[in-house]
Amino acid sequence: MTPEITDSHCHLDFPDFEGQLPQIIENAAAAGVTRMVTICTKLRLEPQVRAIAEAHAPVFYAAGTHPMSAASEPLATTDDLIALSAHPKFVGIGETGLDYHYTADSAQIQQTSLRTHIAAARETGLPLIIHARAADDDMARILTEEFRNGAYTCVMHCFSSSPELARAALDLGFYLSMSGIATFPKSQEVRDIFAAAPLDRILVETDAPYLAPPPHRGKRNEPAYTAHTARVGAETMGLDYAAFAAQTQANFDRLFTKAAVHGVQP
């Protein structure tokens, strides 16, 4: 039996997958990827993303305003996000966060948007999904400030930031998600961060269609390739693949509680 794993973050609504979703989901199942969370990055596109989750049993979804779009999209309200959370397959808030690499000029509105998403995560009990790039100090500060205002859960998606931000997130009880970046030859520092993290706080993802791990690097990523990243994760943590897969499944279920119980009879 192929060990089961979950792609905790992908973008199945992107044009890269148009007309191919049945095959993509079949490929995932063959690789042991039995669930995936597709992420809506602009709230006006939520109906399309929701439709994908409704049409495919293994697919769940989350929605928010990506930080790189915070200045160009209408500012989401907490009530907007709470309303979306009523859907049975809506399992997370985001992705949101801070990205100063390309969009530092919108830092202030990104921070406002981030705090709105945190409030929605706190109110709904759903995990916050964070994108962080070139903004470590502000990210650690805001996450910590807001946690003092009221606890919430969170995953640092596609984590490739500093050891300091990793520690700040882990100290708050948050999770780190390993993407294809962790499999790249020059990413030893990222692997070291994961190796030092608690085993019960690690998820795996693709961020598909981006960041395909070897042997597919440079090509379109897809949820099936989560297995390649998970194998590197197992090596990094000194575990056999089945044990690491089982641990990441337990971690996902603990964080994404709504996905864990979906379809389970009371």
Residue 266 above 70 pLDDT? no
Residue 2, both tokens? 């192929």
Residue that has been written with the tokens 């964080």 in this structure: 255
pLDDT tens, position by position, 140-195:
999 999 999 999 999 999 999 999 999 999 999 999 999 999 999 999 999 999 99
Domain-located, residue 187: yes
Domain-located, residue 165: yes
Confidence of residue 1 (pLDDT cuts 50, 70, 90): confident
The pLDDT value recorded for residue 68 is: 97
Mean pLDDT in residue range 196-214: 98
Q: How many structural domains are present in the chain?
A: 1
Domain-located, residue 63: yes
Domain boundaries, position 207: 5-261
Chain mean position to CA 112: 20
Mean pLDDT in residue range 65-93: 97
| Residue 15 per-residue DSSP state | G
d(CA 220, CA 66): 21
Model-level pTM greater than 0.85?
yes
Question: Of 80, 16, 8, nearest to 42 (Cα)?
Answer: 80
> Helix or strand or coil: residue 89?
coil
Domain-located, residue 266: no
Residue 137, both tokens? 């100090």
Residue 212 above 90 pLDDT? yes
The pLDDT value recorded for residue 24 is: 98
In this structure, of 119-123, 139-143, 207-211, 260-264, the range with the lowest mean pLDDT score is 260-264
d(CA 201, CA 65): 25
pLDDT tens, position by position, 219-235:
999 999 999 999 999 99
pLDDT tens, position by position, 89-103:
999 999 999 999 999
- Read off the CATH number of the domain in which 179 is found: 3.20.20.140
Domain-located, residue 55: yes
pLDDT tens, position by position, 108-126:
999 999 999 999 999 999 9
Domain-located, residue 215: yes
